[in-house]
């Protein structure tokens, strides 16, 4: 179905609708009121899941010029210019635009809060059109163009928006180099030591369990013989002896093998390896075994061989240290200069270089300045499901776009007989409904957002303790945590939640402020009161809105981590897995975008972004299907689509119309609550999700069709 133009008496702007059923008188009145707003831009877009809301319909997309309407904005929602380079584990760097256009999964560098660099799977996508940009200048000469709200990882593992970075701010660095054998080395920021990239891939669980070989060392073989290509599919575990035997069998690939020159090269390579920490440890262990074996098999000869060793060695060592040559060597080592890779300064001695890095740079790049630039561009980002950050070629780590749905590497058989236990484990881990954590969890206490809480609307400060305990909780209504299966029997994890009570508190106070700024006679509906860009009220509202959106994002992040922890404990021996697909999806939010040649505020109330190639989630009810989609970028919908099935009756009406028996029948096969407390969420209270999807075929392309088997609701 394509959209139709609704004919509503008294409407002053066009209303484009993807709804196939007839609308009620109340819905007509609500649309008419929105169409009369003086700040409305172009038209109203009505998604196929639309139904009555407060002020405007849920499922409506409203564009406004130089104004925002608090009552039509919920709370949920940065990115980089298309030519921003990202280093990948294949040894190359690609622009975000190229990665998004290729639409393929890649492996990138990410970083934990403790400074451990890991490898992680990622996907790229375009996130905004014609976005406002800032340029971040670093002390290594790199320049990064991004949206003002994109977060950079600081040296302590926390994140800060680009627009709030200050000169001298220490960022988490990515230091790489290539050794003489062609292997990529990466500095581990928590220790300062270099580690080979292929072992970072292995230790990130991208190659499966690391095998052990009896009386032999485990090595990693590069299948294409390119030591810089560390894609998981190019790496293979082998024993050291099997690896050597394999290379010896390839004489025809290189005629110099086993020649005198090759033998000299081999000995030189062994010597060089012995000078490294790993090599010294390897040869020390190997040598110890050989010596012990020799001592056991030839005890008398060993005693004769080592007789008076200390006396002879001591004399030679003392003589060398006291000689002119020995003193000169010690002096040369102590006065040797090294180049600092960050600032280029020459520093005396290895210890001096270590101290210089630590105290001058903290082992990281620093911000020189942040400048607003006039250019606007389409911007892009990566989704890195497990670690939520990735490295740029500029040598710093930045936040990714988040997560709400994760495709696991498992199929349905692992759930057999365990779904009820899984639901109960989730409910014990994540408070739902009106419940909250007894005390703020560690993830909440560590959140950087609390630093700016006191700057929020003066009426919410007394809610801080409650908000801290609610961070990492589900809430009620249509919020959910689910385990789903797709049509190929793959297991998915999904969640839907927002900014809990604190978001509602913030919104309510700003709505009241907006109403006081207008004469009620000026507005078709008091709930359509708006703030005008440039005013103090607009600035304060936007500040609080961004905070609430960050709270909602962190809330989902904490819950997904806890959901994954329980899932892995039950089905993966407590080990982490790398998600095969991860999708983040915001709804009920406002953002500044570029449409029809102008910058306008787009409010998606019960709708999600469906720009070309943008992935999203459209969930059904607790007994129906859900869909992972990719946007088609319809301009008439302001690049939007529905965020779900949409209600067809109110909660009160549903409770009167249906019984527990109805709920049990309609949720058959789903492990979920089936008591009177969730009758208002019964599938029959929602529209047919299949019809909703048919009505927006011109807005989205279906990537995966899901059916839940476990559903947790408040």
- What residue ranges do the domains of the chain occupy? 4-77+401-648+686-713
Q: How does pLDDT run across 617-659, given as a tens digit for each residue? A: 899 888 889 999 999 999 999 999 999 999 998 888 999 999 9
DSSP annotation of 683 reads G
Highest mean pLDDT among 192-196, 331-335, 573-577: 192-196
For residue 260 the two structure tokens come to 């005198």
Calculate ∠ Cα 541-508-478, nearest 5°: 110
Three-state DSSP class for residue 649:
coil
pLDDT of residue 402: 43
pLDDT of residue 76: 40
**Lowest-confidence pick of 170-184, 209-223, 270-284:** 270-284
Q: Say what percent of the chain tops pLDDT 70.
A: 91
Reply yes or no on whether 510 is catalytic.
Answer: no
**pLDDT above 90 (res 550):** no
Q: For residue 697, what pLDDT band results from cuts at 50, 70 and 90?
A: very high
pLDDT of residue 374: 85
pLDDT of residue 207: 92
**pLDDT above 90 (res 85):** yes
Query: Contact at 8 Å (CB) between 108 and 85?
Result: no
**pLDDT above 80 (res 392):** yes
Q: For residue 35, what pLDDT band results from cuts at 50, 70 and 90?
A: very high
Q: How far apart are CA 259 and CA 262, in angstroms?
A: 5
**Lowest-confidence pick of 105-114, 363-372, 527-536, 662-671:** 363-372
Q: For residue 255, what pLDDT band results from cuts at 50, 70 and 90?
A: low
Query: What is the average per-residue pLDDT within 692-710?
Result: 95
Pick the catalytic residue: 150, 198, 586, 643?
643
**pLDDT above 80 (res 403):** no
Q: How does pLDDT run across 314-327, given as a tens digit for each residue? A: 777 777 778 888 78
Beta strands in 389-512 (DSSP E): 389-391, 397-399, 405-411, 480-486, 490-496
Q: How does pLDDT run across 587-600, given as a tens digit for each residue? A: 778 888 889 999 89
Q: How far apart are CA 148 and CA 544, in angstroms?
A: 16
Q: How does pLDDT run across 666-677, given as a tens digit for each residue? A: 999 999 999 998
Three-state DSSP class for residue 515:
helix
pLDDT of residue 354: 64
**pLDDT above 60 (res 684):** yes
Q: How does pLDDT run across 506-521, given as a tens digit for each residue? A: 888 898 899 999 876 7
Three-state DSSP class for residue 396:
strand
pLDDT of residue 157: 83
Average pLDDT, the chain: 86
Query: What is the average per-residue pLDDT within 51-79?
Result: 82
**pLDDT above 70 (res 129):** no
Contact partners, residue 600, CB within 8 Å, separation at least 6? 41, 63, 64, 65, 592, 593, 594
Rounded to 10 degrees, the C-alpha dihedral 503/504/510/515 comes to: 160
Q: How far apart are CA 331 and CA 354, in angstroms?
A: 19
**pLDDT above 50 (res 429):** yes
In terms of pTM, does the model score above 0.75? no
Residue at token pair 């990719």: 630
pLDDT of residue 343: 63
Could you tell me which residues are beta bridge partners of residue 161?
151
Architecture of domain 4-77+401-648+686-713: Alpha-Beta Complex (3.90)
Q: How does pLDDT run across 598-617, given as a tens digit for each residue? A: 989 999 998 998 988 778 88
**pLDDT above 90 (res 114):** no
Q: How does pLDDT run across 13-28, given as a tens digit for each residue? A: 999 999 998 999 999 9
From residue 196, give the alpha-carbon distance in Å to each of 185, 273, 526: 4, 13, 62
Query: What is the average per-residue pLDDT within 680-694?
Result: 94
pLDDT of residue 75: 44
Q: For residue 433, what pLDDT band results from cuts at 50, 70 and 90?
A: confident
For residue 97 the two structure tokens come to 């635009």
Query: What is the average per-residue pLDDT within 128-156?
Result: 86
Query: Contact at 8 Å (CB) between 498 and 74?
Result: yes
Q: How far apart are CA 136 and CA 146, in angstroms?
A: 8
**pLDDT above 70 (res 252):** no
Better-predicted residue by pLDDT, 701 or 545: 701
pLDDT of residue 251: 58
pLDDT of residue 366: 86
Query: Contact at 8 Å (CB) between 386 and 576?
Result: yes
């Amino acid at each position: 179905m394509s959209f139709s133009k609704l004919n509503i008496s008294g409407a002053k702007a066009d209303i484009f609708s993807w709804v196939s059923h007839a609308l009620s008188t109340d819905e007509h009145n609500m649309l008419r009121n929105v169409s009369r707003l003086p700040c409305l831009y172009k038209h109203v877009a009505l998604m196929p899941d639309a139904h009555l809301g407060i002020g405007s319909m849920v499922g409506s997309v409203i564009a406004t010029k130089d104004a925002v309407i608090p009552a039509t904005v919920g709370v949920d929602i940065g990115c980089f210019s298309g030519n921003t380079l990202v280093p990948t584990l294949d040894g190359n760097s690609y622009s975000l635009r190229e990665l998004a256009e290729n639409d393929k999964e890649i492996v990138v560098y990410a970083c934990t809060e403790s400074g451990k660099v890991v490898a992680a799977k990622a996907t790229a996508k375009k996130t905004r059109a014609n976005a406002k940009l800032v340029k971040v200048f670093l002390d290594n000469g790199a320049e990064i163009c991004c949206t003002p709200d994109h977060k950079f990882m600081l040296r302590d593992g926390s994140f800060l928006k680009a627009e709030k970075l200050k000169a001298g701010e220490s960022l988490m660095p990515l230091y790489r180099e290539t050794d003489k054998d062609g292997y990529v080395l990466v500095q581990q920021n928590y220790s300062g030591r270099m580690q080979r990239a292929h072992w970072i891939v292995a230790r990130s669980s991208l190659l499966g369990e690391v095998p052990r070989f009896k009386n032999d060392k485990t090595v990693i073989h590069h299948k294409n013989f390119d030591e810089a290509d560390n894609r998981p599919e190019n790496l293979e575990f082998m024993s050291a002896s099997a690896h050597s035997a394999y290379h010896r069998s390839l004489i025809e690939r290189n005629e110099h093998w086993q020649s005198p020159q090759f033998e000299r090269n081999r000995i030189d390579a062994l010597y060089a390896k012995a000078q490294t920490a790993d090599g010294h440890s390897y040869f020390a262990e190997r040598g110890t075994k050989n010596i012990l074996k020799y001592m056991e098999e030839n005890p008398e000869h060993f005693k004769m061989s080592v007789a008076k060793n200390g006396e002879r060695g001591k004399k030679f060592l003392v003589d060398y240290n006291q000689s002119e040559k020995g003193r000169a060597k010690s002096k040369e080592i102590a006065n040797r200069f090294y180049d600092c890779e960050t600032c280029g300064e020459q520093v005396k001695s290895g210890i001096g270089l270590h101290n210089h890095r630590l105290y001058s740079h903290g082992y990281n790049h620093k911000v020189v300045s942040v400048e607003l630039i006039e250019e606007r561009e389409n911007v892009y980002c990566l989704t890195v499901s497990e670690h939520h950050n990735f490295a740029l070629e500029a040598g710093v780590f930045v936040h990714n776009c988040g997560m709400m749905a994760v495709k696991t590497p498992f199929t349905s058989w692992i759930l057999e007989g365990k779904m009820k236990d899984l639901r109960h484990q989730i409910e014990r881990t994540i408070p739902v409904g009106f419940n909250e954590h007894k005390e703020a969890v560690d993830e909440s206490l560590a959140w950087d957002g609390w630093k700016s809480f006191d700057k929020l609307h003066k009426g919410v400060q007394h809610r801080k303790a409650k908000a801290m305990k609610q961070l990492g909780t589900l809430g009620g209504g249509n919020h959910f945590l689910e385990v789903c299966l797709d049509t190929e029997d793959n297991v998915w994890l999904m969640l839907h939640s927002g900014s809990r009570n604190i978001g509602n508190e913030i919104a309510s106070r700003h709505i009241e402020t907006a109403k006081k700024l207008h004469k009620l006679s000026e507005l078709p509906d008091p709930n359509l009161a708006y703030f005008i860009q440039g005013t103090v009220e607009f600035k304060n509202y936007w500040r609080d809105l961004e905070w609430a959106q960050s709270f909602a994002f962190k809330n989902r992040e904490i819950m997904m981590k806890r959901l994954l922890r329980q899932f892995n404990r039950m089905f993966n021996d407590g080990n982490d897995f790398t998600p095969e697909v991860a999708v983040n999806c915001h709804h009920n939010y406002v953002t500044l975008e570029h449409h029809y040649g102008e910058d306008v505020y787009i409010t998606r109330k019960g709708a999600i972004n469906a720009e070309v190639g943008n992935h999203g989630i459209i969930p059904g009810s607790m007994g129906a299907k859900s869909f992972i989609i990719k946007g088609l970028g319809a301009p008439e919908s302001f690049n939007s689509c529905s965020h779900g099935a949409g209600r067809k009756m109110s909660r009160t009406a549903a409770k009167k119309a249906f019984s527990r028996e109805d709920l049990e029948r309609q949720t058959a096969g789903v492990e979920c609550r089936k008591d009177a407390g969730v009758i208002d969420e019964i599938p029959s209270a929602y529209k047919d999700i299949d019809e909703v999807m048919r009505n927006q075929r011109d807005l989205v392309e279906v990537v995966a069709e899901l059916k839940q088997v476990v559903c947790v609701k408040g």
